[in-house]
Each structure stands twice: as structure tokens, then as C-alpha cells.
Chain A
């Protein structure tokens, strides 16, 4: 089966601009997660979707970040306006319903804000 895909693989933008990251989970996976690693820090949870509903968004850093998953398929994560501290690698992961902790990660999107 195809794995989790993310687009773009890299994005370089200027402070104040908007960027939208996309994640396509494995087909049939109801659970979709966003994580990110900023420079020198650990990978941090951002939020969790179950189908199209936000189950847990406790990790979202602030209201400049907006995640959507219309129709319960792919998800987008928009950063508007981007700040320097948003630079890092954004990972998406998905799991089937009821699977314990075995999350399938995408390759990540490396975001650089100048």
C-alpha cells in the first residue's frame, strides 16, 4: 500500500507570508496526526484528527496555525502569517482505528522562514 505522503518536501518563505502544507494519509486510516520538530528540539505533537473531526489540538502553538481535514481524507496545515520560529520539519502520521501507537509517518515537510 502507498505510504503517507506530504507536499511540498521543502518550502522556503519570508516572514509574514502564508504557507500551506498537505498530508495524504494511508487510504482507510481514520486517524491523522501532525507533528513538528523545530531546530534542536524534540518532535512535538500538534494535533490529531479522527476522520474530519479534531480530536485533540492541544499542541497547536497559536492561532497562526490552522489545520483542516475536509471529507476526512487529506489534511492541510496552514501557517499564516509565518514567523521565523515556525521553521522546522512538519511530519504527518496516520493510523487505522484501534491500532495502538503504530503510526505511519510521512517524510516530512521542511519549512524555512527567512
Chain B
């Protein structure tokens, strides 16, 4: 399973676009890149998943370069309620689908 590296924390202000980059140099061919969000006292929540290029949904965008050794989660116009820990996970979605969590990035959005 590929190891991921992401910043421990980031600060932002309301209304700004936030980009969180994750490095996964050892990503394998069968690996997908998935991002989860976790608020205090809650379980993680799936945000977005991709394999290559760009994926967009109603919450975020995920940019994956051609070499797939990194990925960037983009949150448009963040609000205070986006303050949370964001996890980048990389893995083969094979038999178990078990998730391997790293330390995550604590995003703090200020007014």
C-alpha cells in the first residue's frame, strides 16, 4: 500500500479556495486516490475519489497529474464549517477495500 504525505495543518479564511496536496510517490497501477473529511466527534466522511486527471463533484475537485505521484484536493470558497481533518488515502480497491489512514491535514478556516 502506498504511503501518503500531506501537510499536518493549514489555515485559511472564509471564501478562499483551499488546495491540499498529498504526495504518494509509490502509488501502484491499481491504486485509487480517495479523500475523506472528519469533523470532531464524528466518523470520517467520503469526499471524492479519482484515478487520474480531474474529478469534480458538488463538494470538491481532485487533480491528479499524469505521473499520479501526487494529488490535490481543492475546496472552493471554504466556510467555517469546512474546518476539519482531511485524509488522503491511496490503495488498491481489491478484496477488502480496507482504508489506510495517515495523519491527515487539519484545515482551520477563520472568519
**Interfacial residues, chain A to chain B (CB-CB below 8 A):** 4, 31, 33, 35, 42-45, 48, 55-56, 59, 91, 93, 95, 99-108
Contacts and interface: CB of A to CB of B under 8 A. Distances in A.
Interface in B4-46: 32, 34, 41-46
Interface in B41-89: 41-46, 49, 89
B97 A101 contact: yes
A105 B43 contact: yes
Nearest to A99: B97
A19 B68 CA distance: 43
Interface of B: 32, 34, 41-46, 49, 89, 91, 93, 95-103
A45 B102 CA distance: 12
A101 B43 contact: no
Contacts of A55: 95-96
Given A42-B103, A100-B32, A31 B46 contact: no
Tell me what chain B mostly uses at the interface: helix, strand, loop, or mixed: loop
A16 to B, nearest CB: 28
A101 B101 contact: no
A59 B88 CA distance: 20
Contacts of A105: 42-45
A32 to B, nearest CB: 11
Name which of A43, A44, A45, A95 has the most chain B CB atoms within 10 A of its CB: A43
Given A48-B96, A56-B95, A56-B96, A103 B46 contact: yes
Given A100-B97, A105-B43, 4 more contacts: A56-B96, A101-B49, A103-B97, A107-B42
A94 B49 CA distance: 17
A35 to B, nearest CB: 7
Interface centre among B32, B43, B95, B103 (most CB of A within 10 A): B43
